[in-house]
Amino acid sequence: MAITFQKKPDGSAQIHVAGRFDFKSHREFGEMVKAVKGSKKCVIDFGTTTYVDSSALGMMLLLRDEVQDIQIRNCSSEVRKVLEIANFHRLFEIN
Amino acid sequence: MEATRILLVDDDQSSRMILRRLLSPQGYEVVEAESGEVALDRFREHLPDLVLLDVMMPGIDGIQTAREMKAIAGGTFVPILMLTALSDEKMLAHALEAGADDYIAKPYNRTVLEARLRAALRGRALFGELHAQKLRLEDLRAQTEREQETAARLLGSMFRSSSLENSCVRFASTPLERFNGDLLLAGRTPGGAFRIMLGDFAGHGLTAAIGALPIAEAFQSACLRGQPVETMLREANLKLRSILPRDLFLAVCVVEVEPVKRTAAIWNAGMPTVFVRGARGGIKAEAPSRMIPLGVLTQLPGSEVRVESLELGDRIYLYSDGFIEANDPFQNDFTDGLLRQLLARDGEGSRFDAVVAAHEAHVDGTPLSDDTTLVELTYLPELFESGAEPELVSRNHLELGAEALRGSDPMGIVDAWLTGIPSIASQRTTIGTITTELLTNAVDHGLLGLDSCLKAGPGGFGAYYEERERRLQALTRGVVRVELGVECVGSNYRLNLMVEDSGRGFDPRRLEALAPEGQLFGRGLTLVRSLCRDLRVVSPGNRTEVVYEWSAADATLLARTA
C-alpha cells in the first residue's frame, strides 16, 4: 500500500493508491487528507489498486468531508463493483 | 347413372303386375317380393332405393316388415311407401308410426304414384346429402381433436422439460388437457445461467400452438447455444411476425438468473408486472412490461429490467394476465394490486401456497375465461447446481497465534497464497476484499473486542487504529484460523472461505444495523454479503463462512489476454 499525491497549480490534487487499500492505509491516507484539505478538486487514481475494503470506503468519506469535488479514475471492474455495492457511485464521480 | 331400384312387396300377384307395368316404363328397376319374409331377404340383398309395401299380408305383415327394414337400413334413408286402401286409416297410422314414410292409396293413379315416388326420392337425396355432411363434420371434429391432442403432447413434453423439475421452480396452471395458450419453458445455458420463459398467446388452441412451436424451439436452442436472451427474442419476434396472422401475437416474459453474478434480468414484452420478493419479505424489484409483444412489429424496441445483488431466498413471480383477471362470483378481478400485497408480506419463505389459496378462495368455483399460470422462481443454491461434482483446485489452512498476529500481517500471508493460484487471478481484487473484511472482523472485534463506534467523530479513525495497535501489542492469547479452498464446479470456480477466531463471538447484525448511508464504518459484512453467493455467521459469532463463485470463462479469458 502506497498513497502518493501531487498538488497541481490549478488548485486540484492528484491522488494515487497503489496495492491494497485497506485499514492499514489509514495513517497515510489521513496525512494525505490533511495535506489536500481545501483543494478545489481531487482526482483519485485506482489504476494500480489491487483491492479496497470497507474501511477504505470509510476513509474516502473522510476525504469527501474536506474536498467537495472528487473524481475516481481507472477503476478495475472489480473495484468498481465494490464501490457500486456501497452505492458510492452516487457520492463520487467514477470515470 | 344407375336405375332407381324399387322393392315391390305384395302378396297379391295381380297387384304386383299392375304396379310393375306402371313403373318399368318409367325406367325404374323393380324387384318383387310376395311376402314380408322374402322382402326382408331381398332388401338385404338388393339394397333398394325405395320400398313399396303392402300393409295386409299373411305371415309378417307390412307394419312389422317396415319396422325391420328401417332397422336394417340403419343410418341410410330408404323411404318406405305403404300400399293401402283408403278405408284402412287406423292401419295406416300404425304403419307411419312403425317407420313408413308415406302411403299410396289403392286403386293406383299413375300421376299420383309418380308424384309420390319423386317426392320420396327427393327426401332420400336430401337425407343423403345431410348424412354426408354430418360425416364430414364428424371427421373434421375428430381431426381437430387429434391435432389439439398432438399440440398438447408436443408442447406438454416441452412444458415438462427437465429444467422445470427443479426445487427452485414452482408453478400452477390451468389443466393442460388441451394446449391452453400459456407457454412455460425453462432451460440452462452452458455458462450456468438459468432461464425461464412464460408466454401468453393472444388466442387459444391450435392457433396458439402453431406460434408456440417456433418460440419454444427458439428458446431451447438459445439455451443450448448460450445465445443471449435479447438476440433470441429479436429472432423469435421476426419469425412470429412472418408466420402469425396480424391479429395474433405473443406476450412473453423471460427471466435469466446468473447465479455467479447474483443478478437477474427480466425481459417483459406485454406480460403483467413481474415481482421480485426479498428473502425477508417486501417487494425488492418490479419489472413492468417495457417491450412490445412478439409478432407485432419487425423491430423489438425496449429493454430489460436488471436486478443486482440477489440474495438467497429472493423470489421472482411471473404470471399470466388470466391469473389477475380471474373473476370472483361477482365479476371482480383478482388484480395485480392484491397479488403484490400478498407477495410483499413480511417474513421469510415462499408466498406461493398463500397466493394460490387466496386465488382459489377468490375464484370460488367461478368458471375461468382465460388460462391462468403462476410461477415462482427462488434464488437458492440448487438453482445453480449443474449436477457437476466439485473438483479440488487448491486448499490451504492457516492458524495464527497471538505472537504471529502481533508481528505479521495475516492478509499478506493469505495474499501470497492467493497469488499462486492462476484460476483466481481474474478475481483477486474481489477475493482480496472479502478476505480482508473477514480477517479484520476476526482480529478487531473477535480477539481485540474493539467497538466500531470509536471510528465516529473527528479523528475517529486515528483513535480507533491507535487503540487497535495498543490492544494488539498487549494480546497474549488468541487464535485466528483461516480455511481457503478453491474448487472447479462444472463451468464455474468456487471459493470456500472460513475465518474463525477464538473470541467470544459478536453479533454482526448489530454492526450492520449501525451503518446508515454515509456512515464511516459498519458496511464490511454488508459488502461481503453482496459480493458472495452465500455468507453464514456461525453461532456464537466467531466463525464466518462464505462461498464465492465466478465463471471459468472469465478466468480463461484473462489467462489468454495476460
Question: pLDDT, tens digit, for every residue of B6-21?
Answer: 999 999 999 999 999 9
Least confident range from A22-31, B270-279, B517-526: namely: B517-526
Q: How confident is the model at residue B510 (pLDDT cuts 50, 70, 90)?
A: low
Between positions 8 and 37 of A, the ones with CB within 8 A of B are 20, 22-24, 26-27, 30
Closest Cα in chain A, distance from residue B367 (Å): 48
Which chain A residues contact residue B514 at CB under 8 A? none
pLDDT of residue B137: 92
CA-based nearest residue to B167, from B388, B389, B353, B379? B379
CA-based nearest residue to B548, from B508, B489, B505? B489
Q: Kindly provide the ipTM of the predicted complex, given to two decimals.
A: 0.72
Beta-carbon separation of A91 and B309 below 8 A: no
Distance of CA B326 to the CA centre of its chain: 18
The domains found in chain A, sorted by start residue, are: 2-94 (3.30.750.24)
Least confident range from B282-296, B302-316, B511-525: namely: B511-525
Closest Cα in chain B, distance from residue A21 (Å): 9
Contact B220, B239 (CB under 8 A): no
* DSSP-based helix, strand, coil % in chain A, nearest 5: 40, 35, 25
Residue B108 is classified by DSSP as: P
Q: How confident is the model at residue B521 (pLDDT cuts 50, 70, 90)?
A: low
d(CA B162, CA B394): 33
pLDDT of residue B6: 95
Q: How confident is the model at residue A15 (pLDDT cuts 50, 70, 90)?
A: very high
pLDDT of residue B204: 59
Beta-carbon separation of B430 and A81 below 8 A: yes
**What confidence tens digit (pLDDT) does each residue in B427-446 have?**
888 999 999 999 999 999 89
Buried b (16+ CB within 10 A) or exposed e, B450-481: bebebbbeeebbeebbeebeeebeeeeebbbb
pLDDT of residue B384: 66
**What confidence tens digit (pLDDT) does each residue in A43-81 have?**
999 999 988 888 888 888 888 888 989 999 999 888 888
Mean pLDDT value of segment A85-94: 83
Which chain B residues contact residue A85 at CB under 8 A? 309, 527, 530-531
The domains found in chain B, sorted by start residue, are: 5-131 (3.40.50.2300), 160-384 (3.60.40.10), 391-561 (3.30.565.10)
Q: How confident is the model at residue B155 (pLDDT cuts 50, 70, 90)?
A: low
Of B178-182, B194-198, B455-459, where does the model show the most confidence? Answer: B194-198
pLDDT of residue B558: 42
* Helix/strand number for chain B, H first, E second: 17, 20
pLDDT of residue B556: 47
pLDDT of residue A56: 87
Q: How confident is the model at residue B551 (pLDDT cuts 50, 70, 90)?
A: confident
pLDDT of residue B562: 34
B interface test, pick of A1, A3, A21, A23 with most B CB neighbours within 10 Å? A23
Which chain B residues contact residue A24 at CB under 8 A? 409
Q: How confident is the model at residue B317 (pLDDT cuts 50, 70, 90)?
A: very high
Q: Is the pLDDT of residue B561 over 60?
A: no
Beta-carbon separation of A61 and B518 below 8 A: yes
Which chain B residues contact residue A23 at CB under 8 A? 436, 440, 465
The number of beta carbons lying within 10 Å of the beta carbon of residue B195 is 23
A interface test, pick of B517, B519, B520, B550 with most A CB neighbours within 10 Å? B520
Helix pair B410-419, B428-441: axis angle to 10 deg: 150
pLDDT of residue B530: 83
The helix/strand/coil state of B518 is coil
Beta-carbon separation of A53 and B530 below 8 A: no
Which chain B residue has its CA at the smallest distance from A76's CA?
Answer: B429
Write the residue in B429, B462, B520 that is nearest to A79 by C-beta.
B429
- H helices present in A17-76, as ranges: 26-36, 54-66
pLDDT of residue B513: 58
d(CA A47, CA A24): 19
Q: Is the pLDDT of residue B560 over 50?
A: no
Between positions 66 and 95 of A, the ones with CB within 8 A of B are 76, 78-79, 81-82, 85-87, 91
d(CA B474, CA B471): 5
Residue B533 is classified by DSSP as: S
Better-predicted residue by pLDDT, B189 or B289? B289
Q: Is the pLDDT of residue B166 over 90?
A: no
Mean pLDDT value of segment A1-12: 86
Q: Is the pLDDT of residue B499 over 90?
A: yes
pLDDT of residue B185: 85
**What confidence tens digit (pLDDT) does each residue in B358-407 have?**
999 998 888 777 778 899 999 987 776 655 567 788 888 888 899 888 88
Q: How confident is the model at residue B454 (pLDDT cuts 50, 70, 90)?
A: confident
Which chain A residues contact residue B519 at CB under 8 A? 58
Q: Mean pLDDT, chain B, as a whole number?
A: 84
Distance of CA B284 to the CA centre of its chain: 24
A to B CB pairs, distance under 8 Å:
78
Q: Is the pLDDT of residue B503 over 50?
A: yes
* Burial of A28 (C-beta count, 10 Å sphere; 0-12/13-18/19+): middle
**Dihedral sign for Cα atoms in the order B536, B284, B318, B242:** negative
pLDDT of residue A46: 94
A interface test, pick of B461, B526, B529, B561 with most A CB neighbours within 10 Å? B461
Beta-carbon separation of B530 and A85 below 8 A: yes
* Helix/strand number for chain A, H first, E second: 3, 6
